[in-house]
Amino acid sequence: MPFLFSMLVVALMIGALIDIITRDDSQVKYLPKMVWIIIVILLPLIGSILWFAIGREYGESGIAIPRMRRVTRPAQTDVRPAPAAPVDTRTTEQQIADLDREIEEWRLRQEVEKRKREDGGSPAGTETQPG
């Protein structure tokens, strides 16, 4: 495993060195080419990563990094304000009372459903009378 990692680092370093040497001086950022070569040779992994991350200028055919652009909107004469969020004007006590009523309603519905299941779901008025 260490051998494989070492081979990957060497391959990355060679790729970075070839890229630095063949690149035009105007496409090298932040440091001169010779300094980048020294960094990549002395610190193969970190230097290569730094070169590919910040040291080179990517052209139009390189990695496309989307840029955030400020969108300018044309002046509109018919500008409507965004609708306001609904505001609950009830007091806390009113809200709690409404919740209690809703809970009671759901409890009663469940009780009705339970009774329907217990009765076998027969409609009202069709039950047989003992006799």
Q: What pLDDT, in 10s, does the model give residues 61-76?
A: 555 556 666 666 665 5
Mean pLDDT value across residues 44-71: 75
Q: Which residues lie closer than 8 Å to 58 by C-beta, 6 or more apart?
A: 65
pLDDT at 102: 95
Q: Return mean pLDDT, the chain.
A: 82
**pLDDT exceeds cutoff 90 at 82:** no
Whether 28 and 55 have beta carbons less than 8 Å apart is answered as yes
The three-class DSSP label of residue 28 is strand
What is the domain partition of the chain in residue ranges? Answer: 2-55, 91-119
Structure token digits, residue 117: 């299941």
